[in-house]
Chains A and B, each alone.
Chain A
């Protein structure tokens, strides 16, 4: 149980275009989802917290207009990288809290974004 499905797993896009990444909770409702970014050989950095039905909360230094987050339902959160540039190339991972903090977090399989 507690599976988070993330799509696509890999995407290559041209500089200046936008890319949407989806994160779905398959067998539970996730009122809160989290988006992370991971550079090679580094740990995960939290980008933003996505709450169903309200605006996302962004971490310091993360551009809200570049990384648009939508959490329109209890099972779906999306991250759109707008006007992508090569420096946005990274590994993006979503996560959801299972029920409450007592049960920990489950993660998606990640999306490798390459901007050319």
Chain B
């Protein structure tokens, strides 16, 4: 079973600050997805990164896939209260009996204070 360690688990910051969330594994993933989840709702896909070293930007959010496709990061610049939520990373398993399935990280609860 492939594991994804996501850190930090909790993040409480002031509006305007920058932050980075990390997902790390000892296993290689075919692709890596980032989701955002609001209370009482299901996760919503933000981005999928496929190629090692790939960087994608979504307004103030920057996503990076590690060169070896074992890790990823989400960086938010000048965080706003509207960024508050649960952020989840999910890796597409590259082999074994779980090939093609998603392995989720534990999630990061982000709170941005006005």
Does A pair with B?
Answer: no
Which residues in B have some Cβ–Cβ distance to A below 8 Å? none
Which residues in A have some Cβ–Cβ distance to B below 8 Å? none
